[in-house]
Every structure is written in structure tokens, then in C-alpha cells.
Structure 1
Amino acid sequence: MAVNLQIPRLFQKSLSPKPYQINHLLLKYLCTTPEFPLTTHDTSNSPESPDLPTWLSNSQNQKPSDPDDGDFVIPSLANWVENPNLETHRNVPSPLLFEPQVSNADKLSEILKKRYSSEAAVVKALNESGIDATNELVSQILMRFDSHCVVAFGVFIWAKNQTSYVHTPELYDYMIDILGKFKKFSLMWNLVEQMKGLNGYVSLATASKVMRRLAKARKYKDAIDVFRGIEKYGVSKDREALNVLMDALVKEGDVEDAHSAFLEFKDCITLDCSSFNILIHGYCKARMFVVARKIMEEMEKHGQSGRIKDAWDVFEDMEKQGVCRNLWVYNTMISSACAHSQGGSALKLLERMEGDSCKPDVKTYAPLLKMCCRRKSVKLLKFLLSHMFKNNVSVDLGTYTLLVNEFCRNGKLEHACFYFQEAVLKGMVPMVKTFKALVEELEQKNMKEMKEKIEKLMFQARERNLT
């Protein structure tokens, strides 16, 4: 059995090229110095080979190095490795020739690599080092050992005990974050109380780390309580702090408590889009899309103060100030005018867009079409659809869905069926929700024949979509 194993090894060894042979070939064809002249004739039968470098000629008399051997060195570097102090380097002044000085951070790191059972043991070892603490040194050590709570807190205490040293607020925040990460909340709160005694040390950054670590540990109520009492630490109870709290809760899967905090403080704190977006993201993450939609609707209402007159004043002043009124401005004004039942003003804005060479889009027409459906103004609706065609704005599925839904709500089922049919004939597949709403309305009105036609149309649309 042993013989059988040896044969493949010998065969493999005989086939493997020797390092000096490969290097010889490389030097032969790549080197451009006179020592290795390029030749085009076959030199295999030459009585003499070109002079080889010392390391290569010596290697022919030695056993080739095994790459798996720990002493393997690339041949071109062999002499340099064996004799680092070359003659050519002696006259070159360079700091690399001297032993680099070991920093205090490295010295302390070597000490701290040992195992310590308590912070007191760490403090004792560091006191024996004779090194004075600085903010930069403590920051370096905390960054190196922030995954070792005992060591990190021992370093923090050691530095704090030195008479000529004072921790910065940032170092306090860093230590609070480390303690929170290891769920040492009693020690964390002791540090916060110490910071409270130091004027201006507690900041929003401090409160943010505390709230996030509590939320991470699933202490959701405690995190909310921190926000409730945040002012006693000299931190403002404002929108930014509320957003941090909500974000911390949502990231840890507690969107319900985040929403509760939102509702509790929304009347005393001015919210922004981030406040709403945090909740929307949280509910979408929890796959509670209906609630997320409601938050979006509330967000839309929150952004409308109802000061339409002031909006008009700003709109008119833009031209005087030389500010171009773009599509976004027009869409906002048209939407606001329709929301406040100012249909005439909305249509005038649509007309003024042509004067400003501003091309409308689907969002421009959506509030106008909705207004027409609510007023049951079919004539105006036809005009708007024609106006869309004139401006190369296609009536997409979203527009047809809007028309069908609005006509259903307002009892104009014939018109709803007409636009449903038109959408299908154009190759679109109406949304299931829209289809069901229309069928239910037709059933309630006992319009059986129309209901059957709508069902056939939906069947055709689905079949066509499958093929």
C-alpha cells in the first residue's frame, strides 16, 4: 500500500518544474542588460551558458526551496533578506534604518491584552505603566477595546482618576455607548448623572445613544421615558430628539410604541417629513400597509396649512422676482385650488401654463379630473381628456382607475362602466380592487346586464394578459 502511495508522489515531483529553470528562462528572454543578451538561435547545445547571478548559480547546487517551507523566499529578495544592511544603503539617511519608537497606545495595548477580572485590576496595571493619560490616548484605547467592556471601563476610570486629566463630552458619550452595548445600564446611568453635574456635557448625542441602547435591549418604555424627561438633563425636547426616539424604536421592531410617541407629542412638537417617513417605513417593514397608507394621508394633510391666499401671493410674486414657475409649482397650485373647490382658478392655472411654456403631466390633470367627477361635470371632463391628448399626456391605467372610482362614489355608474371598458379595449388590465368596487355598485343598483358585461371584460383582460 505504501508503495502505491509513493508512485504518484514521485511522478508528480518529476513533472514539477524546478524554480531555477523557470527563473533562467525568464531572465534569458526578459533581461535587456549585456549580461543576458537576447538570442534568436537555439542555445540548448551551446557549450557555455551566459553568466548567471550569484543567487541563481548557487541555487543549482542546492535543493530548491519548497513554497510550503517556512523559509521560502523569492530568489530576487534572498540576499536582501539575509543581509539587510547593504553597503549601498549605509550612506542614505533614513528613519526606517532605526528602530521605530513604540507609542504609548501600543504600550498600553500590550498591557491590556492580558485577562482582567475587574476594572480595578485594569486600573492597577495601568497605574504601574507610568504613562500619563491624554484625550487622544484614551480615545485610541477605547476604540481598540470597545468590545471588551471591563478593559474599556477600566481605562476610562484610570484616566479619570489622574489629577491633570479631564474627559471630553465625546469620550463620555463613547463610554456610555459601550456600557449600553453590554447592557450595563446601572453603570451607564451613573455616567449620565456624572455628566449632568458637568455643565453642558449631556447633549442630544448622549440622549440618542441612551435611547438607542435601551431600545436595542427591548426596554422600549424606558427609552420613551428618557425622551419624556430629557429636558432635566439640559437637552431640548424637540423634533430632532423625537425623530431619534421613533427611529430607535422602529429599527428594533417596535413601530407601535413609536406611533404612540408620535401621537403623544405631535401637538406640542412641530413634525417634519422625517417624522412621518419613520412611521411609514416601520409599518411597511411590519407589512402593515393599510396603516402605512393612512400615515401617508395624514402626512399629506399635515403639509397643507390651508393658507391658499398666501400661496397665491407667493405665486404672483415669483414673476416679479424673476423666478421661473416650473411644473412642480403649477401642480402644487392646481392641486391646492381643487382641494379648496376653486375650480375656476385651477383651470386658469392650466391655461397660464401654456403662456409659461410649461408642459403639464399626469399629476397636473389628476386633481382636475377628480374635481370633474365629484361635480359630475362630464362636459368639462371631456375637455380635459382632449386637453391631455393635445399635450401628449397619455391616459394611463392610473387615470382610468381614478375616473372609475370617482364615478362609482358619485353614483355615475354608466360613466364608470364606460371608462372601465375603454381601459380594457386599450389593452389595460384594471386593478382587482377597482373591478370589485364597480361590480358591487352594479349589483346594489340591480344592473345585472351591465355587471355581466364588466365581468366578461375583466375575464378578457386577464386572459389576454396571460397570453
Structure 2
Amino acid sequence: MPIASLSRLISLSIHTKQSKIFNLQFSSVSSADKFFTLLEKKQSNIEKTLALVNAKLDPNCVCEVLKRCSFDISLSQISLRFFIWAGLQSNCRYSSYMYNKAAGFLKIKQNPFLVLDVIKAYRMEKCSVNLKMFKVVLNLCKEANIADEALLLLRKMPEFNLRPDTTAYNVVIRLLCEKGDMDMTHKLMKEIGLIDLYPDMMTYFAMIKGFCNAGRLEEACELFQAMKGQGFSPNAVTYSVLLEGICKYRSTEKALELLGEMEKAGGNCSPNVITYTSVIKSFCEKGQTIEALRILDRMEACQCVPNRITVITLITGLCTEGHVEEAYKLIDRIAGRGVSNSDCNSSLVLALIRINRLNEAEKLFRKMLVSGAKPSGIACSTMIREICHEGRVLDGFCLYNEIERMQYISSIDTDIYSTLLVGLCRQSHSVEAVKLARLMLRRRIRLEAPYVDEIIEHLKNSTDKELVTQLSRIAS
């Protein structure tokens, strides 16, 4: 094909695509204009009039209408009614993202009684109301995290001769669980059975998680057993929620028992890395890190690879309890299997610093640099900071230069520069201080506020007056 013809073809294709995008945007805006103009009239029983509007309705159009209405507080209720009506139309289904956007435009969190005012307006105007309309409003409550208003909505359904279904109950139960009102959620769960409904997996999961978060483990365990008795098979997520609660509030023996149950069940009940790490963390927090290593054995036997959190938890626990040699052995055992050698050793450096074994930590850190292993950003920053706190600022500066030479400098906290610079100034290492100050200027790194005056005063003695001026400008 000739070049000129090919260029015309590409140009035509781009123009066509741009035209389609423009037409789509224009269509949404035009539709939004029509709906918004109608809403501004604030008519009663607006739903009947909305159905007569000859305009394309889709989530983009709904968002545009809500956005415009959000600038006029007097349109709050009518725009909510528009959102509810639109959500019932076959060509306008809402996603969680859409509910989240709508809750923001409607300011449901700031004005939670709006959802109740709308229901009151429906009743006063004798509007036809169905269960789907209530569900739209309940989903808004879920996004805005307003539990009390969601419960009141549930209680108002019978006023319209409507009966909530399990899905509606689940929204309210989940919100109340997150609020911590487990007595009310328990009451609602009993209520479900009284009206010939049945709790589903979502109901049980929300309740079990709520009881665990509230520290009411006996009730969580009873509900877990009741769930299995009803024929529901718990998955790894449900087991993990219960296990996390047990680890937090009860004995490690009970945690091991439940972990064994998961391992025995297998399949989608098999414990994952989060499950095992939760149990390991529980043992470490109780000062039983050596026992936690046995959980690692079980983990590996089930071909579950530890992650960075698992390793940090174990290394920190071992060092805190004085089992430093075991920490080294652990790294030899697991480095490179899911967690890099650099991450393992960085964790050990930090753990050694926490137990005041700075010399050993520094030795390990320098060994990492020599071997080409990249220490984590927090390990680099903490190492330099601790050396400076010991009064060895020049050593800290030299270590900084080593890290820079290895091109690991981007991971260092910006406050380290000010710590180094003020230390160099106080110990009269003027050449190094000027060098670091110039580097900070090149990288636009600001001086930390507490040190500005002291550093500026010291650098005034240098021959580079322009350096002092420029450094003053970028001070925090």
C-alpha cells in the first residue's frame, strides 16, 4: 500500500475513534442535562416523571447528575431518589465503585439521616416502593459505613408491606459487626430464622469475625460449629478469621488444634501463609519462638512458602529471646525460598540493633555490602542513625558513601541527611559537611527544621557563601 494511502487510513481511523469518544461523552452530558433540569424542579413523585425522560441512562450519566446536584444542598433528597430510581433500570447496574462514588456525591456519611428522609418522603407521597429500592439504599449505607441508619431502614420495610431477605440482613449485620454491636447482630440472626429465612455463608462469616474482634471467642466457636452443622463448609478464610481471634485472646494449644483441623481437612480449607504466620506471631508474642519454629516445620511440610512477614516475625522473636544463633540458622535455612537473602539479613540487622548489639549488626550490614546484597531502606537508615547516635558521625558519613557507591542511596530516609550534616558540623568535619550540603542541594533534600539554624551558622564559616544562601532556601 502506498505511504500516502496508509497515512490517510491511519488518520481516518484515529478521527473515527476520537469522534466516537466525543459522541459518547457528549451523549452522557446531554442526558445528564435533561435529568438535572428535571430534578431542579423538585417535583413530588419524581419517579413517574423520570421514566418519561427520553435520554440515555448509564452509570456515567448518573455520576454526572449526582455531581451537579452535590453543589446544591436543597437537591440532596431528590438526587438520592434519582439514584435509587436509576439503579432499578435494566441498563444501569451499579458496582461497588459506583455506590462508593454516589455515597461521596450525596454526602451520606456527613448527613446519614438523608436515607431515612427519603423513605419518609416515599410514604408521604404514597409512592410504590419495592425491596430493590431498599437494597440500593442499604448498599449506600454500607459504603458510608452507617450501621444505625441501616438498621432503621430494615425496621421500616414492614411499613411498605415488604420483608427483608437474607441479603438485606447481611448488609446490616456486617455493618453492626464492624461497629462492634454484637448483641444486636445476634438478635438479627435469630430474627432471620423466625421469618423463614436462613443465614448464608456471608452471615456466618460476618458474625464469626465480629465475635472474634470483640474478644467473644466462645460465641465465635459456637457459631463456627453451628455453621458446619447447617451443612456449610468453612474455607481457609473463615478458619483464618477464627484462628486469628483464638491466637489473640486464647491459648496457643487451641490455635494448634484448629490449625491441625485445617491441615487435616485440606482442599480449600488448607492453611495458607497468612494462617501460619498468624499462629507463628502468636507464639512469638508469648515468648515461645522456639515452639514457633515447629510451626514453620509444619508449614514447609504442607509446601507453604513463608513470606517476608513470617521471616521478620521469627527473626525478631528469636533475637528478643536471646536465640541469635538460631536466627542465623533460620536465614541459612529459608533465604532464597520465597524471601530474598537481602530481606532476611536486613531483618536480622534491625533485630540486632533492637537488642543493643550494634557492633554485630554493623558487621553483618557491611558484610552484606561487600557481598553485593542490597540492605532494605529501613536497615540503611537505622544503621546510619544508630552510628551517629553513638557519636561516630564520620563513620556514619563513610558508610553513607559506601551505600551511595553501591547505588542503594534512594532507599535512605531524607531525615538521615540532616542527622549526618548536623553531626559533621558539631564535630567540625567541615570538608565532609560542605560535600554533603552540596549533595543535598543537588537532590533538593530539605534540612530538618530543628537543625536549620545550627547548620547554617556553622557553614557560614565555609568559603562557599552561595552554598549557605541556597541551603537556607530549601530549609523546611
- The bucket for the TM-score relative to the shorter chain is 0.3 to 0.5
Higher normalized helix content (fraction of residues): 2
**TM-score, length-scaled by structure 2:** 0.40
**TM-score, length-scaled by structure 1:** 0.41
